[in-house]
Amino acid sequence: MKHVVIIGGGFAGVNLAEALGKSRQFEVTLVDRNNYNFFPPLLYQVATGFLDVSNISYPFRKLFRQYTNVNFRLGEFHEVIPAEKKVILSTGTLTYDYLVFSTGAASNFFGMQNVQHHSLPMKTINDAIELRNHFLQHLEAATLTTDPAERDKLLTIVVAGGGPTGVELAGMMAELRKEVVPKDYPELSGKGYPSHIILVDGSGKVLSPMSVASQQYTHDKLVEMGVELILGVTVKDFVNETVILSNGQNIPTKSLIWAAGVTAVLPKGIAPEVAGRAKRMQVDAFNVINGQTDIYAIGDTCIQTSDPAFPQGHPQLAQVAIQQGKLLAKNLAAREKGQPQQPFIYTDKGSLAIIGRNKAVADLNHPTFHLKGFIAWFIWIFVHLAGLINYRNRLKTLFNWMLAYFRRDQSLRMIIRPKGEDGKLE
């Protein structure tokens, strides 16, 4: 059995491991820094208290229990030594016949150190919990302060990035402001509340990859919900509790949520010239990293320009990662048998974004097939439930969504922090 080592347990890595787990040709080791898989498109719902962490995550060891040839290794990737077919981890060393990077992408702060150190990204479970704690603690602090300027900074939220994550966060915050906060925090009534929710994007429009109809509907609904849009402008700095914009405008706030871009991380041991746009590893039509023979990259961490419909590379979406993971499993099996391999061609199933209750947009298959409102919202619900990793997660998430929908409320607003290094709660 050939040994396949997979670095990263996101959409791409899990789909590859599960597909290889059904074959007796391979022994598989999946490596991840966490011991669980999670569903990134719903991180913002954990951050806003509409879902619990367990709704969108599942332990790897339980997930792979049914596959006798799939193993899990908890650890951080440190380096690959291609000449020795060896991977060095924080928890030991592995040798491989085939190595696959599916490490996803990290937040791109475009070299702005203050933004990186003081803003709130939305890429991991830890990020979502931190944002929830931050939001709730600032609401509590706002009920205590007697300084109107301080209260305004506590209650003002700036979201940088008008893509799906930024739009969904801004919309959810607006709904919380309308439906939940007045009930939980009556002390804020008449004291400068409601707060400012400001969405900033440099492209001049929200949801720029989607259709014009989806962009316009989203723009109108966000404004209707009270979200303040500042478009065609970028964040330049975040210093002294002030967001500084490229047009010279300053926004006093303690909360900058960063959803303005992502970048890959080039693994140590891979030649620097392999890095393409946003540090994504350049791969051929079969996802082999340029200059390598047995090392692959799939999902957000790679850029592939061989697909005729996507000469600039595929969008960094879950569907791309899923389809690449499944096809690579077939190609590895074909390679072992000496059979022809299939080049990757992305099947675009469309794009979805939710704005709020009964408000969503959908561009399905053909760019002119556009849906909005309740029907798009319902499709979004169905697609995201189907994307969760097992039936337990789907049922728990559906139950939470049903309660939140009919009650216009949820009960997951707990501030939960681990112990700090001094042994005291932070």
Q: Tens of pLDDT along 42-80?
A: 999 899 888 889 889 999 999 999 999 999 999 999 999
- Position 368 pLDDT exceeds 80: no
Instruction: Say which CATH superfamily domain 2-33+75-105+264-337 falls into.
Output: FAD/NAD(P)-binding domain (3.50.50.60)
Pairing mode, if any, of strands 370-372 and 26-32?
Answer: unpaired
Which residue would you say has higher pLDDT here, 411 or 374?
A: 374
The answer to whether residue 168 is catalytic is yes
User: Cβ(193)–Cβ(181) under 8 Å?
Assistant: yes
pTM of model > 0.85:
yes
The architecture of the domain spanning 113-261+351-407 is: 3-Layer(bba) Sandwich (3.50)
Mean of the per-residue pLDDT values for the chain? 91
Rounded (10°) CA dihedral 339, 345, 347, 352:
130
Which residue from 206, 387, 209 is spatially nearest to 310, judged by alpha carbons? 209
Give the pLDDT confidence of 203-251 residue by residue, as tens digits: 889 998 899 999 999 999 999 999 999 999 999 999 999 999 999 999 9
Task: Say if residue 267 is preceded by a cis peptide, omega within 30 of 0.
Answer: no
What contacts 24+ positions apart, CB below 8 Å, involve 369-372? 370/211, 370/213, 370/214, 372/213, 372/214, 372/217
Give the mean pLDDT of 312-320. Answer: 92
- Which residues belong to CATH 3.50.50.100 in the chain? 113-261+351-407
Give the pLDDT confidence of 94-103 residue by residue, as tens digits: 999 999 999 9
Estimate the crossing angle of helix 148-155 against helix 125-144, to 10 degrees: 160
Give the mean pLDDT of 320-324. Answer: 96
Annotated catalytic residue within 168, 175, 228, 273:
168
Task: List the structure tokens of 208.
Answer: 């720029």
Q: How far is CA 119 from CA 234, 235, 296, in A?
A: 14, 11, 33
